[in-house]
Amino acid sequence: MKIRSADFVMSNSNVINAPKERIPEYAFIGRSNVGKSSLINMLMERKDLAKISGKPGKTQLINHFKINDEWFLVDLPGYGYAQISRKKRTIFQYFIENYFKEREQLVCTFVLIDSRHDPQKIDIEFMQFLGENQIPFCLVFTKADKLGSSKLNKQISAYKKILLDSWETLPMTFLTSSSTGLGRKEFLDFIGGINEDVAKDFK
């Protein structure tokens, strides 16, 4: 898939106010500081489409970007950042859950995992939430360039081992690096293929 256009549409904290267009939608989410904004910018070949901050927890709204006038990329708030107040964490959880449970246009969720870290409880719990609510998702390992192939494979295998305790089949997995562009073609080809498959459902 070639990215011809990528435009910011809106930010909001209520799924009711999300765009009404019936086009496929893909959500990006992960723990704060996982490299989500950098990954989005790399995929779209834009330096500042998603705002990058040195302060984790910067994304605090549901952000919709229209890609190629054909589908929405949705940048969701990160979870698990301790310095965000308890009140804000509760609000985030509420509108994030509502988004996943109510957004009919959502086709797939990309759960971002920092490949440098061992499996985190909060990531596993979030995947379980998606599974319990029958929300399709893929695993996206970020910052893959920071590890050697042996360590990287070990980290991925650790996640897969845990997931196999709850799932009969594993979600699709992507290895990415915002610095090198690793995984960009595979990622966009995957979305393009899904768009072709679901096109008739959005007419």
- Mean pLDDT (the chain) is 86
Per the CB < 8 A criterion, the answer to whether 23 and 44 are in contact is no
Residue 64, strand partner residues:
10, 74
Q: Cα–Cα distance between 47 and 65 in angstroms, integer?
A: 14
| Model pTM score | 0.89
* pLDDT > 90: percent of the chain: 55
**Residue-level pLDDT at 80:** 60
Q: Where are the domains of the chain?
A: 6-202
Q: Residues 148-184: pLDDT tens digits?
A: 899 999 999 998 899 888 888 889 999 999 999 999 9
- The pLDDT tens digits of the residues spanning 90-129 come to 545 777 888 998 999 999 999 999 999 998 888 988 888 8
pLDDT of residue 92: 54
Class of domain 6-202: alpha beta
- Outline where DSSP puts E strands in 41-198: 62-67, 71-75, 106-114, 137-142, 173-175
**DSSP per-residue letters across 30-56:** EBTTSSHHHHHHHHHT-SSSSPP-SST
Report how far residue 97's alpha carbon sits from residue 170's, in angstroms, rounded to the nearest whole number: 23
Q: Give the β-pairing of 6-12 and 62-67.
A: antiparallel
Instruction: Provide mean pLDDT across the span 47-58.
Output: 58
Q: Residue 61: which pLDDT band, with cuts at 50, 70 and 90?
A: confident
Percent of the chain with pLDDT over 70: 88
